[in-house]
Structure 1
Amino acid sequence: MTDIHRADAPPAQRPGAAHDLDELSTVQLVERLTDQVSGLVRTEVTHALTEVKDRGTRFGIGAGVSGAGVLLMLYGFGALVATAILGLATALDPWLAALIVAAVLLAVGSVVAAVGARRAKNALPPVPERTANSVRADVDTVKEGLR
C-alpha cells in the first residue's frame, strides 16, 4: 500500500481526513478506526508503564532512606546500652559522653526515618494516575464524537 493508507501519514494524506470522510467506504473507515485505537492503546500502555516505573523508583528510594534511619536508630540504641553500662561503672564523664552520642544518633535517625517514610508514602499508590486521567479523557472524546 502507499503512504496514503498508513496511520503515520500526515493528516492531510490519511484516509479519513476531514475533507474526504464522505468518500471513504465503511471498510476504510473501520480500518482507520482500528489503526487509531491500536495507536492510542499502545501510547497509553507506554505512558502507564513509564508512570509506574517512576513511582516504583521513588518508593524504592524512600524505603532505602527509611532503612538507613532505622539503622541509625539501632546504633543509637546500642549507644544507650553502652551509656547505661558506663554510667553504672564510672562516675560522670564517660557515660555523659556516651549519652550525648546516643541522643544525637537517635535524633538524626528519627529525622532520616521520617523523611524516608514521607517519600515512600508520597509514591503510593503505584497507580498511573496521569495515564488513567488521559484514558478517561480519550473515552470522553470518543463518546462526544459519537453523539
Structure 2
Amino acid sequence: MTPRKSLGDLLAETPQMIVDLAKAEVRHLKEELSEKAKGVGVGGALLAAAGVVAIFLFSWLLYAGYQGLNEAFAPWLSALIVSAVLLVILAILALVGIQLIKKNKDFGDLQAVDSIKDDVNMVRGLGHAADGTDPLDDLPTAARTTGASGATRVEGDVR
C-alpha cells in the first residue's frame, strides 16, 4: 500500500497541478487550431489549383472557337475535347476544396475550449457540468449498462 500524503503536502502540490493543467489545455487548444487551419489551407490550395485550371480551360475554349471559325472539324473538335477534360478536373478540384473548407471552417466546436470551461467550473465549485447535466453524459453510450436498481451505470463506475 502506498503511503498517504498529508493535507499540507496535497495543498502544496495544488498550485503546480493547476499550472500543469492550464499548460496541457493550452497545448491541446493549439493542436486543435493547427489541425483546423491545415484543413482550411489544403482546401484553399485546391481552390487555387482549380483557378489555374480554369485559366487553362478558358484559353482552350478560346482556341476552340478560333479553330472552329477557321477550320471545319478536326482542330476545334479536339480542342473542345481537351476543354471538356479540363472542365472535369476543374469541377473535381473545386468541389473537394469547398468540401474541405466547409468541414474545417467552424472553430466554435473545439473540444479544448469545452475542457477548459469544465476545468474553470470545477475550480469555481460548480462541478463538472455547470449546466446541470450529468458528467457521465460525456461518455459514449455503448459503454453504459443498466444496473439491478435500474440506474444507468458505466463500466468502471463505482456508484
**Fold conserved between structures, TM > 0.5:** yes
In structure 1, C-alpha distance between the alignment counterparts of 2:4 and 2:21, rounded to whole Å: 16
**Does residue 61 of structure 1 match 2:37?**
no
In structure 1, C-alpha distance between the alignment counterparts of 2:65 and 2:106, rounded to whole Å: 43
**Does residue 100 of structure 1 match 2:81?**
yes
Query: Secondary structure at the residue paired with 1:144?
Result: coil
Moved more, 113-122 or 128-137: 128-137
Q: Which has the higher helix share?
A: 1
Give the CA deviation at 1:105. 0.5
Identity %: 28
Number of residue equivalences: 125
- Deviations for 1:82-120, whole angstroms, at most 9, x for unmatched residues? 000000011111111111111211121112111112112
Q: Are the equivalent residues in 2 in contact too, given 1:52–1:128 (CA < 8 A)?
A: no
Give the CA deviation at 1:125. 3.2
In structure 1, C-alpha distance between the alignment counterparts of 2:109 and 2:29, rounded to whole Å: 5
In structure 1, C-alpha distance between the alignment counterparts of 2:4 and 2:25, rounded to whole Å: 22
Which of 16, 21, 24 lines up with 1:43 in the alignment? 24
Letter in 2 for 1:129: L
Higher relative contact order (CA 8 A, sep 6+): 1
In structure 2, stretches of 5+ residues that fail to align are: 129-159
Q: Are the equivalent residues in 2 in contact too, given 1:76–1:105 (CA < 8 A)?
A: yes
Give me the TM-score of the superposition, normalised by structure 2: 0.68
Give me the TM-score of the superposition, normalised by structure 1: 0.73
- Deviations for 1:26-81, whole angstroms, at most 9, x for unmatched residues? xx62x433222111100001101111111111221111111111211211111000
Root-mean-square deviation (CA, aligned residues, Å) is: 2.3
Indicate the residue corresponding to 2:92 in structure 1. 111
